[in-house]
């Protein structure tokens, strides 16, 4: 087969690259294979197509790994009046994780209350509150330096984090299902109701 193709190319006087292109145009199945995006891209919602360094070791983590989960996205800080919410967030994660909830923590110094480096933040969260839910390296969540992920969250809801521990709820379909101010505690009844509603959706 390949020897016939090579002979045909030589007979036509076409360079190898151009001949391959001609073959591609004549082969619809090959076109489909090249045009089709990878399965992972097709199954990952646009909102989750971002990568952040993990807090503990700064290894890149794709948010696409959480596709199909219900996500509670929280911008955190170690020296804030709302910092004890870490305990409630961890309890919420432990309570609903088997049903598909993942809490995602994004430490930020945008409000001047997260001055430590990533290692210090990780040690503080684990030793003080026993945090086990996924957390990412310190980044910006508001203003001109906000990450693309947080800019999308703000655009979807019309609400930017006004302080630490603002919360966004993302449904299994990758769409924002709710936005909650810092004063809404993890055990708030309305928040729990929204989380359970999102978890029940298939």
Nearest to 179 by CA among 100, 52, 77, 74: 74
β-pairing, 70-76 vs 101-107, is parallel
Which position among 44, 64, 80, 125 bears the catalytic label? Answer: 80
Measured distance CA(85)–CA(182) in Å, rounded: 9
Nearest to 120 by CA among 52, 53, 54, 56: 56
Nearest to 170 by CA among 132, 198, 202: 198
Residue 64 annotated to the active site = no
Which residues are within 8 A (CB) of 155 and not within 5 positions of it... i.e. 6 or more apart? none
Measured distance CA(79)–CA(124) in Å, rounded: 10
Measured distance CA(202)–CA(192) in Å, rounded: 18
Q: Which residues pair with 74 in a beta bridge?
A: 105, 167
Residue positions annotated with a catalytic role: 80
């Amino acid at each position: 087969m390949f020897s016939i193709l090579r002979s045909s190319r030589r007979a036509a006087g076409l360079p190898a690259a151009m001949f391959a292109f001609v073959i591609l145009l004549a082969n619809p199945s090959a076109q489909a294979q090249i045009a089709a995006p990878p399965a992972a891209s097709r199954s990952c919602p646009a909102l989750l197509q971002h990568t952040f360094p993990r807090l503990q070791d700064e290894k890149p983590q794709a948010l696409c790994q959480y596709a199909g989960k219900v996500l509670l996205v929280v911008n955190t800080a170690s020296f804030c009046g709302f910092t004890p919410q870490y305990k409630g967030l961890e309890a919420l994660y432990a309570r609903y994780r088997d049903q598909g909830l993942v809490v995602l923590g994004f430490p930020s110094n945008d409000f001047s209350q997260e001055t430590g480096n990533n290692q210090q933040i990780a040690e503080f969260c684990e030793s003080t509150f026993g945090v086990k839910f996924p957390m990412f390296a310190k980044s910006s969540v508001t203003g001109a330096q906000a990450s693309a992920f947080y800019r999308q969250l703000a655009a979807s809801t019309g609400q930017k984090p006004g302080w630490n521990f603002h919360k966004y709820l993302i449904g299994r379909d990758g769409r924002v299902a709710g936005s909650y101010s810092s004063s809404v505690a993890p055990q708030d009844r309305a928040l729990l109701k929204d989380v359970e509603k999102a978890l029940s959706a298939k």
